[in-house]
Amino acid sequence: QIGYESLALDYFREALFADLADIHANTTDGVHIASAGGAWGALVFGFAGMTDSGVALRFTPSLPKGWDGFEFRITRHGSRMSVDVDREGCVVTVLSGPPVPVMDGDQQVHVDEGTSYRIPAMKLPPLEHDVGTAANSPADDD
Protein backbone atom coordinates (compact mmCIF):
# COMPACT_ATOMS: atom_id res chain seq x y z
CA GLN A 1 0.00 0.00 0.00
CA ILE A 2 2.89 2.39 0.60
CA GLY A 3 5.17 1.36 -2.22
CA TYR A 4 7.52 -1.18 -0.62
CA GLU A 5 6.41 -4.14 -2.73
CA SER A 6 9.65 -6.12 -2.55
CA LEU A 7 10.01 -5.69 1.20
CA ALA A 8 6.36 -6.62 1.77
CA LEU A 9 6.76 -9.74 -0.34
CA ASP A 10 9.96 -10.71 1.53
CA TYR A 11 8.22 -10.40 4.92
CA PHE A 12 5.18 -12.28 3.61
CA ARG A 13 7.34 -15.16 2.37
CA GLU A 14 9.25 -15.33 5.65
CA ALA A 15 6.00 -15.52 7.62
CA LEU A 16 4.48 -18.02 5.20
CA PHE A 17 7.45 -20.38 5.15
CA ALA A 18 8.39 -20.20 8.85
CA ASP A 19 6.79 -23.61 9.34
CA LEU A 20 6.31 -24.86 5.77
CA ALA A 21 10.04 -24.72 5.04
CA ASP A 22 11.12 -24.84 8.70
CA ILE A 23 13.32 -21.80 8.07
CA HIS A 24 14.21 -21.47 11.76
CA ALA A 25 14.85 -25.22 12.20
CA ASN A 26 12.45 -25.41 15.15
CA THR A 27 9.10 -26.50 13.72
CA THR A 28 9.32 -29.69 15.79
CA ASP A 29 8.85 -27.44 18.85
CA GLY A 30 5.44 -26.31 17.59
CA VAL A 31 3.66 -24.16 15.06
CA HIS A 32 4.52 -20.47 14.77
CA ILE A 33 0.90 -19.30 15.04
CA ALA A 34 1.82 -15.60 15.10
CA SER A 35 3.73 -16.09 11.86
CA ALA A 36 0.70 -17.76 10.26
CA GLY A 37 -1.44 -14.84 11.42
CA GLY A 38 1.09 -12.41 9.99
CA ALA A 39 0.96 -14.13 6.60
CA TRP A 40 -2.85 -14.00 6.62
CA GLY A 41 -2.78 -10.34 7.65
CA ALA A 42 -0.31 -9.50 4.89
CA LEU A 43 -2.66 -11.04 2.32
CA VAL A 44 -5.90 -9.53 3.61
CA PHE A 45 -4.84 -6.13 4.92
CA GLY A 46 -1.75 -5.65 2.77
CA PHE A 47 -2.14 -7.18 -0.69
CA ALA A 48 -5.98 -7.05 -0.71
CA GLY A 49 -5.90 -3.65 1.03
CA MET A 50 -8.94 -4.43 3.20
CA THR A 51 -9.91 -1.85 5.79
CA ASP A 52 -13.00 -1.80 7.98
CA SER A 53 -14.26 1.62 9.04
CA GLY A 54 -16.80 -0.02 11.34
CA VAL A 55 -19.46 1.02 8.83
CA ALA A 56 -18.22 -0.53 5.57
CA LEU A 57 -15.36 -2.54 4.11
CA ARG A 58 -12.97 -1.03 1.58
CA PHE A 59 -10.58 -2.92 -0.69
CA THR A 60 -7.57 -1.33 -2.41
CA PRO A 61 -5.65 -4.30 -3.84
CA SER A 62 -1.95 -4.04 -4.61
CA LEU A 63 -0.73 -7.36 -5.99
CA PRO A 64 2.97 -8.17 -6.20
CA LYS A 65 4.51 -8.55 -9.64
CA GLY A 66 3.85 -12.02 -11.03
CA TRP A 67 0.65 -12.59 -9.05
CA ASP A 68 -2.62 -12.92 -10.96
CA GLY A 69 -4.71 -12.88 -7.81
CA PHE A 70 -5.91 -14.84 -4.80
CA GLU A 71 -9.08 -15.58 -2.86
CA PHE A 72 -9.84 -15.59 0.84
CA ARG A 73 -12.88 -16.03 3.06
CA ILE A 74 -13.83 -13.95 6.03
CA THR A 75 -16.76 -13.52 8.41
CA ARG A 76 -17.88 -10.02 9.37
CA HIS A 77 -20.84 -9.32 11.66
CA GLY A 78 -22.36 -12.74 10.95
CA SER A 79 -21.87 -12.61 7.17
CA ARG A 80 -19.63 -15.20 5.53
CA MET A 81 -17.89 -13.75 2.49
CA SER A 82 -15.54 -14.79 -0.26
CA VAL A 83 -13.21 -12.12 -1.64
CA ASP A 84 -11.53 -12.81 -4.99
CA VAL A 85 -8.70 -10.34 -5.62
CA ASP A 86 -7.20 -9.77 -9.07
CA ARG A 87 -5.44 -7.04 -11.02
CA GLU A 88 -8.74 -5.38 -11.98
CA GLY A 89 -9.95 -5.09 -8.37
CA CYS A 90 -11.91 -7.63 -6.36
CA VAL A 91 -15.20 -9.47 -6.24
CA VAL A 92 -17.00 -9.68 -2.90
CA THR A 93 -19.52 -12.52 -2.60
CA VAL A 94 -21.76 -12.85 0.44
CA LEU A 95 -22.13 -16.59 1.00
CA SER A 96 -24.52 -16.30 3.94
CA GLY A 97 -25.79 -13.75 6.41
CA PRO A 98 -26.98 -10.16 6.32
CA PRO A 99 -25.99 -7.69 3.58
CA VAL A 100 -22.40 -6.45 3.74
CA PRO A 101 -21.68 -2.75 3.18
CA VAL A 102 -18.65 -2.15 0.94
CA MET A 103 -17.20 1.01 -0.53
CA ASP A 104 -16.98 1.42 -4.30
CA GLY A 105 -15.00 4.64 -4.55
CA ASP A 106 -17.01 7.14 -2.52
CA GLN A 107 -20.27 5.18 -2.84
CA GLN A 108 -21.41 2.65 -0.24
CA VAL A 109 -23.18 -0.40 -1.66
CA HIS A 110 -24.73 -3.38 0.10
CA VAL A 111 -23.92 -6.87 -1.14
CA ASP A 112 -26.79 -9.24 -0.39
CA GLU A 113 -26.59 -12.92 0.50
CA GLY A 114 -26.02 -15.06 -2.58
CA THR A 115 -24.82 -12.15 -4.71
CA SER A 116 -21.46 -10.80 -5.82
CA TYR A 117 -20.21 -7.27 -6.42
CA ARG A 118 -17.08 -6.25 -8.34
CA ILE A 119 -15.13 -3.35 -6.92
CA PRO A 120 -12.79 -1.94 -9.56
CA ALA A 121 -9.16 -1.33 -8.65
CA MET A 122 -8.54 2.12 -7.30
CA LYS A 123 -5.05 3.53 -7.25
CA LEU A 124 -4.34 5.43 -4.07
CA PRO A 125 -1.68 8.12 -4.16
CA PRO A 126 1.48 6.86 -2.48
CA LEU A 127 2.02 7.98 1.07
CA GLU A 128 5.00 10.18 1.78
CA HIS A 129 7.96 7.94 2.57
CA ASP A 130 10.12 8.39 5.63
CA VAL A 131 13.45 7.68 3.98
CA GLY A 132 15.60 8.28 7.04
CA THR A 133 18.00 5.50 6.03
CA ALA A 134 19.05 3.97 2.76
CA ALA A 135 17.42 0.71 3.88
CA ASN A 136 14.03 2.47 3.75
CA SER A 137 14.57 4.01 0.34
CA PRO A 138 11.94 3.23 -2.32
CA ALA A 139 14.84 2.77 -4.75
CA ASP A 140 15.70 -0.44 -2.88
CA ASP A 141 12.43 -2.00 -4.06
CA ASP A 142 13.34 -2.27 -7.74
pLDDT one-digit tens code per residue, 108-124: 999 999 999 999 987 65
Q: Is the residue at 138 inside a domain?
A: no
Q: Are 61 and 121 in contact (CB under 8 A)?
A: yes
Q: Same domain for 117 and 86?
A: yes
Q: Is the residue at 130 inside a domain?
A: no
Q: Is the residue at 74 inside a domain?
A: yes
Q: Same domain for 59 and 76?
A: yes
* Domain span at 22: 1-47
3-state secondary structure 82-137: EEEEECCEEEEEEEECCCEEEEECCEEEEECECCEEEEECCCCCCCCCCCCCHHHC
Q: Given a cut of 90, is residue 50 above it in pLDDT?
A: yes
pLDDT band at 68 (very low <50, low <70, confident <90, very high): very high
Q: Is the residue at 59 inside a domain?
A: yes
Number of structural domains (the chain) is 2
Quote the CA–CA distance of 39 and 13 in Å, as a whole number: 8
pLDDT one-digit tens code per residue, 4-29: 677 667 766 776 666 665 666 666 66
pLDDT band at 138 (very low <50, low <70, confident <90, very high): very low
Radius of gyration of the chain (CA): 17
Q: Are 37 and 54 in contact (CB under 8 A)?
A: no
Mean pLDDT of 72-100: 97
State the Cα angle at 46 between 34 and 103, rounded to 5°. 125
